[in-house]
Structure 1
Amino acid sequence: MPDPAPNSAPRRDWLSLLARAPADRLATLFPDPLPDHALLRAPEIGSVMVRGRTGGTGTPFNLGEMTVTRCSLRLTDGTVGHAYVQGRDRAHALRAAVLDALMQTDAAPDLRRRCLDPLAREEAQRRATRAAKAAATKVDFFTMVRGEDK
């Protein structure tokens, strides 16, 4: 089945990055005042069911609920932006929705350089740090000497 929106991968990537970004860092990179916009759906708090898979490949199961905040808006030029962010931060959802809308306009290259690229670099650094901490605790049982091998 063909992809219904063949150019949706870049948008999916920036929406995902904005959702995971620390709210205070996003506010620093994209400060107020926000561009003029009309709210289609004011930031509202709700919950979603998180699903998991045993071993990452097994049958899906309901893991639990997670609080999210969503927002939809329209810029004065008609461009629509959406955002879902984890937690109860209405300002984060609003800012992410504005950025989503602006990333669909001619402002995208500048916003990518000013906002998205730094967020992506910082996220990669956080992941690398977390992976290094986890790797430091790894035990390789195949290289350990057992008592009967002496």
Structure 2
Amino acid sequence: MADVSSNPDPAPSAARRRAVSAFAQADAGFLEAAWQSLGEGRTVGALRGPESGLVMVRGRAGGGGAPFNLGEASVTRASVTLDDGAVGHAMVLGRDARRARFAAAFDALWQDETMREAIERDVVANVEAALAEADAERRSETEATKVDFFTMMRGED
């Protein structure tokens, strides 16, 4: 199996980053259900974890100012191997070990070119659609509470 990180073509690594991001943001129940149909019969072995810890979240004032430490966030990471030797990695926000394990398993399965199209269609596209829908709902809720402020000029100025 070819090592994706040594591939000189940047497109596969960008596609993998997109897929890994979707796996990390997906619900554990959704990933488990999808694994039942797509990963059926495959053995998932643990290489590392899942293990939980903390990462420092950094921010910038105004989006471009000097960085500052905003606070800490809980994360869980996992590395797994499939029975065919493929290795997958995942890091998810929170302390959900099951979600991290399934996300890592899907990362490993995604690297199998024969499975990639089905995973993109059945998992990645569904997760991205759900995230876009949640974002649109959040935006509409925020828009409903928007207040337009304006400044009135006085005539004598």
TM-score category (smaller protein):
0.7 to 0.9
* Corresponding residue number in structure 1 for 2:69: 62
Q: Partners of 1:57 and 1:75 in 2: how far apart?
A: 42
Report if the CA contact (8 A) 2:26-2:127 is conserved.
yes
Query: 1:65 Cα shift?
Result: 0.7
Alpha-carbon RMSD: 2.3
| 2:121 counterpart (92, 113, 116) | 113
Report if the CA contact (8 A) 1:34-1:95 is conserved.
no
* Corresponding residue number in structure 1 for 2:97: 90
Q: Partners of 2:88 and 2:99 in 1: how far apart?
A: 13
Report if the CA contact (8 A) 1:47-1:65 is conserved.
yes
Q: Which runs of 4+ in 1 moved over 4 A?
A: 146-149
TM-score by length of 2: 0.82
Q: 2:115 aligned with 1:81, yes or no?
A: no
Deviates more, 1:19-28 or 1:77-86: 19-28
Unaligned stretches of 5+ residues in structure 1: none
Paired residues in the alignment total 145
- Describe the SS at the equivalent of 2:106: helix
User: Taking every aligned residue pair, what percent have the same amino acid on both sides?
Assistant: 44
Q: Within 5 Å, which residues of 2 pair with 1:1-150?
A: 6=10, 7-31=12-36, 35-105=42-112, 106-142=114-150, 146=152, 148=154
Q: Partners of 1:29 and 1:77 in 2: how far apart?
A: 19
Unaligned stretches of 5+ residues in structure 2: 1-7
Deviations 1:37-73 (A, max 9, x none): 2211020111111111111111111111111110001
